[in-house]
Amino acid sequence: MNMPLTLVVDDEPDILELLEITLGRMNIQTCCAENLGAARQLLAKQRFDLCLTDMRLPDGDGLELIDYIQERGLSLPVAVITAHGSIDVAIKAMKKGAFDFLTKPVDLAALRQLVNNALQTSQFQATGKDRRTRDILLGESAVMREIRSKIQKVARNQAPIYISGESGSGKELVAKLIHQQSPRSDKPFVAINCGAIPHELMESEFFGHKKGSFSGAIADKQGFFQAADGGTLFLDEVADLPLSLQVKLLRAIQEKKIRPVGEQLEVPVDVRLLSATHKELAKMVQEGSFRQDLYYRINVIELHLPPLRARASDIPQIATHLLARLAKANGLPVPELTESALKALMRYAFPGNVRELENILERALALHEGRCIEVEDLSLPAAEGQPAAEPDGVRAQAISLETYLANVEKKALVAVLKDNSGDKVAAAQQLGMTIRSLCYRLKKLGLE
């Protein structure tokens, strides 16, 4: 088996020597270039498995080298080396497609970890590893095809991904797909709902604790970062993190180290960070409830999931798939959705998105009679049969879109509360949201 070959680009002899010696001990060959021009010449002659480049070069910068590699379709991971404190430059490089970054002075343990991850990615791409996954993201609308394409691209690097979208739109599914299509797929995928953890336990849950570090700490405990080491950590509803933990999370991301509660020394961790929320993080940054530096650090690349009402042409495919899965889980024959039932689903606005669609179909499966599911079996919360939305668009209204959607949401919430005899806990579970979120919506819409 041939030794991996790495292109190292730096104009400092000491750095070149350090990298060459370290990689050599890892049984990795190196070719060194002192400037951008020499790097381009080597790339034209030789195939490399990895490129390590300084950000500042005598005749350009590392960003230009990333552009050069991508323009020529060269499939090698690029990691940039930046001066300490230049995290904003590193983030810019990762937005352009860099695999990861290191800061000077170079930490050799971090360097070895980065190189191993990058070479694993390079080998993963070269061998054409089967990318079929356990989970699927359905829909043939243009926006969903684009999202699936983006998932394949972002799965190849280490950049933190921020997944935005309304509740129930499939953010955790997208996070799983990124993990499953990455070289980390055989390592842990740890998903955390940040809104479900009591604030006083957050530091211990995220970073772990040492036995005796506080009352009740009867044994050493591993945190989420350690549990996801080598794999992917997905922080759902990241907007719910308190400011005190946001500071510690930022440090963990930047330094790639954590300090368990009660421990004196930091522990290195290697995780790919994905985060999501249905809230507007940019607005929270302006209001001061979410740290700006953390926002830019987790939002290196954003994937926005559209609401179901914006891609109504995908509903028949999704509904058919969900219905088949629900019937199989309950040991029932798979019923058909009548044409009128499908049209009703495509007209409905789905404030709860795919999660609400699944709830509607599960209820219809339990209550329908015969071989088909009719419109009345769906029990859609629409007034006098008026469509809530047109496929892939919004019906012209005399009222504003905001008012129109608020009315739709009111009807949906009233219907679910009625189904559950006013029990808010049961209603929240049916809608797939927290009781706090439901109470907030009820208050906002004047339904309290």
CATH of the domain at 217: 3.40.50.300
- Best-predicted range by mean pLDDT (133-147, 267-281, 386-400, 418-432): 267-281
Residue 330, pLDDT score: 87
Give the count of domains, the chain: 3
Residue 137 included in any domain: no
Residue 403, pLDDT score: 64
Q: Is the domain of 436 the same as that of 313?
A: yes
Q: Of residues 132 and 293, which shows the higher confidence score?
A: 293
Q: Is the domain of 215 the same as that of 228?
A: yes
* Cβ contact 248:206 at 8 Å: yes
| pTM of the full structure | 0.70
Q: Is the domain of 44 the same as that of 66?
A: yes
Residue 346 included in any domain: yes
Last residue of a domain, one of 304, 323, 343: 304
Residue 349 included in any domain: yes
Asked whether residue 302 carries a pLDDT value surpassing 70, the answer given is yes
Q: Is the domain of 18 the same as that of 93?
A: yes
Q: Of residues 355 and 434, which shows the higher confidence score?
A: 355
Residue 409 included in any domain: yes
CATH of the domain at 417: 1.10.8.60
Q: Is the domain of 290 the same as that of 322?
A: no
Q: Is the domain of 190 the same as that of 84?
A: no
Residue 432, pLDDT score: 67
Q: Is the domain of 384 the same as that of 430?
A: yes
Q: Is the domain of 159 the same as that of 297?
A: yes
Residue 418, pLDDT score: 79
Q: Could you give the CA distance from residue 253 to residue 113 in angstroms, rounded to a whole number?
A: 15
The average pLDDT across 358-376 equals 90
Give the tens place of pLDDT for each residue, 333-363.
899 999 999 999 999 999 999 999 999 999 9
Q: Is the domain of 328 the same as that of 224?
A: no
At 276, give phi and psi (nearest 5°): -155, 160
User: Does the bond joining 105 to the residue before it have cis omega, within 30 degrees of 0?
Assistant: yes
* Cβ contact 200:214 at 8 Å: no
% of the chain beyond a pLDDT of 70: 90
Which of the four pLDDT bands, split at 50, 70 and 90, describes residue 394? Answer: very low
Q: Is the domain of 300 the same as that of 313?
A: no
Which of the four pLDDT bands, split at 50, 70 and 90, describes residue 124? Answer: low
Residue 293 included in any domain: yes
Residue 132 included in any domain: no
Residue 31, domain extent: 5-126
Residue 133 included in any domain: no
